[in-house]
Structure 1
Amino acid sequence: MYPSRQSGFVLITSIMFMLVLTLVVVYAVRSATIYERVAGNNRNYSQAFQAAEFALQQARGTLVDIPTIPSTNSCISGLCGKDTDISIFNNPENWISNSNLNKSCAVNDSCNTSGASKAISFPGASSQQPRYIIKELNSSGSCAFYEITAFGKGGNASSGSILRSVVKACDS
């Protein structure tokens, strides 16, 4: 009934089919892993941006009552004089270094209690609460201009966001 010589065509075909199926599954798993990483990075960036936006709003609330800015060219508790070089705050690592923590103000610190601000923790913060600095720029009559720089950290150590805004505050 069966021929004495079999060529093994079915065996070779099934092995080729399994090889192709394995390659498709490996590609699908790899793609899913990459998409998961991208989604995680987007989430971390979004957290960092929202934290910085929260700090920016808290700093704007501080300007409801115009604060006393130090006359020196340094930053103290988030308030910086006109001649202060704030370029160190362009780097996210400088915001959380021990030597600069007293120069900026965290949103849950006692320095964030003037004006319409209240010392409140950012609910989505990682180990670091969002921070801000306010630098006086110029005054014109009863109005003053301030540059606010805010920093927020995301879900991991490498995600951070720095936002800047210029605000005009006038005595009413």
Structure 2
Amino acid sequence: MAINNDDIYDDLDDLEEVVGDDVFAAMLNGNAEIQVADNIYKYTDVGLFVTPADNYINLENYLEVRQISTNLLEPTEQAVREDFVNDRIADKLTPLSDASNIEYFVSKIQPMVLDGDGYSGGGTYTTPAETSIAAIVQKLPIGTVRKPWLGNLFGKTWETDDKYESRRRVKVKFYSQNLFLVYAIGCK
């Protein structure tokens, strides 16, 4: 099967969903990994895995046994992904009980609803910044607002685009992400 330019652009869009900040994304290698001191930080579509560099082979084995994709361009099966994320503590780096010397992090995922009044979500407290971003996104005149799974794995991401010609588009993305090593908020 031949890969065309549209497939390549879609793959780049998928990668962009995970890390909103271009500078941090540029620091990741082709496997969505970065080494800081003696630890490897591996971003996947189920969250962030952290292990000492000399334990990396065990991380690879762990992901393979649990059928978690090691490549962001090849998604993990949805049922596997959702079960893994739902069984873990959010917003805290925690050791995996079924793995030696591997820790896991995922940002707290709250249900988001964009309605006429702006953002409403899980809980009673909403910060003004979230309300403002959601209100802006809601009123954008182009396309349908999407909340991609990968982009919301580490925070909140809204995106929309307008295909004004068959091969041309305007894409707007708002994000607020906790990638453990960095916090990123922005609009592109």
More helix by share: 1
- Which of structures 1 and 2 has the bigger CA Rg? 1
Q: Same fold (TM over 0.5)?
A: no
More strand by share: 2
Q: TM-score range by the shorter chain?
A: under 0.3
TM-score (norm. length: structure 2): 0.26
